[in-house]
Amino acid sequence: MKIVMVGEGAFGHKHLDALKNIDDVEVVSIAGGVEESTRETAEKYGIPHWTLDLQEALSQPGVEAAIITSPTPIHAAQAIDVMEAGKHVMIEIPMADSLADAESICTVQRATGLVAMAGHTRRFNPSHQYLNKKFRAGELTIQQMDVQTYFFRRQNLNALGQPRSWTDHLLWHHACHTVDLFAYQTGEDIVQVQAMEGPKHPELGIAMDMSIGLKTASGALCTLSLSFNNDGPLGTFFRYICDNGTYMARYDDLVDGRENPIDVSTVDVSMNGIELQDREFIAAIREGREPNASVCQALVAMKVLDKIEQVLSH
C-alpha cells in the first residue's frame, strides 16, 4: 500500500517510525510545509519524493491513502482535498478545530465512502485497551475518570522543541483525547459539561490552564485538568475509579490503585499506540470497513468540545 505523509513535524516522524513495523506499506511521498525540514525528513526516512504541494504528492503513482500530521488549522481542508482526490485519509488529532469543519469532513466521507479515521491514539494504547475489554465484558464500570494533561508550553514550540507556525490548544487538541476516551470507555453519551479557564497568555493568546467536568447519562464523571504552565512531569495521566478496582494509565503502562504493575504486553501486537492506530487504518482500507475511531465516531467528541467552548465563551 502506497501512502503519502502530510506534515514533516514531530508527529509525522512518530507515524513514519511506526509504519516501519507494518508489512507491505510504503511511504512514497511526503508533503510538508517547510522546504528544508521536508527535504531532511524525506532523506532521513528514505522517502523517494517530497514536495510542498499536497496535490503533487497525492498524484504519485499508486497512492491509496494519506496520513495528515500537519498544523491543526489546515487539517479539515487537507482531509477534504485527500478524499476528493479519491484517497483514504487518517487525520491526526484533532481532525478539526471547530465543529463545523469536523462536520464537513464527515459529510465528504459519507459522500465518497472512503475510509476516514481520526487519530484518537488513546483508544489503541494497550493500557486503555486492557480496561476497555473489561468494560465491554461487564467486569468493571467507571465511576469517575480523573485525568491530568500537563505540559510546559510558554513558548510556541512543538514536541521536538522547534518553533511552531501555529498555536496549539488545550481544548481542541489536548482535551479532545480525554473527551473521546471517556465516551468510548463508558459507551455512553456525555450529557452534561462544565468548564473554567485561566488567564490567556499575552503573546500566544490562549488560556494556559483549564478545568473541565463531564457527566454521562448513567452518572459517570470525568474530571480533567489541563495546563501549559506545568514544569514537569509532563504528559497525560489517567486514573480510572471503578466499581471493582482503581487503575492508573500512563501512556502504554498500567498499574492498579496500589501501584502494582499490570502486564499489558499481550493485549495487542505492539506496545506502541501510534503503530496500533496505523495498523487499524491500513486494515480498515484492506478490509473495506469502518475503522475504530472513524471521523464519524470522533464527531461525538467534537460536539462535546463545541459545548465546552460555548460554556467558556460565556
| Beta-bridge partners for 149 | 226, 236
Return d(Cα 203, Cα 303) in angstroms, integer.
Answer: 28
Residue pLDDT, tens place only, 48-106: 999 999 999 999 999 999 999 999 999 999 999 999 999 999 999 999 999 999 999 99
- pLDDT at residue 269 tops 90: yes
Share above pLDDT 90 across residues of the chain, in percent, rounded to a whole number = 89
CA distances from 228 to 90, 114, 138, 179, 186 (A): 27, 36, 37, 18, 28
The CATH fold assigned to 2-121+274-292 is: Rossmann fold (3.40.50)
Phi/psi for 105 (5° steps) reads -60, -45
From the list 89, 113, 121, the residue with the least C-alpha distance to 3 is: 89
CA distances from 162 to 37, 75, 142, 241, 305 (A): 11, 20, 39, 37, 28
CA distances from 6 to 73, 118, 220 (A): 14, 14, 38
Class of domain 125-267: alpha beta
Find the length of the chain: 314
Residue pLDDT, tens place only, 104-121: 999 999 999 999 999 999
Give me the pLDDT at residue 304, please: 98
Pairing of strands 221-227, 50-51: unpaired
Pairing of strands 209-216, 221-227: antiparallel
**Element spanning 285, H or E:** helix 273-287
Give me the pLDDT at residue 154, please: 79
The answer, yes or no, to whether the previous bond of 291 is cis (omega within 30 of 0) is no
* Mean confidence (pLDDT) of the chain: 95
* 45-59, 90-104, 194-208, 283-297: least confident range: 194-208
Orientation of helix 273-287 relative to helix 10-19, angle to 10°? 60
Give me the pLDDT at residue 158, please: 64
List the domain boundaries for the chain.
2-121+274-292, 125-267
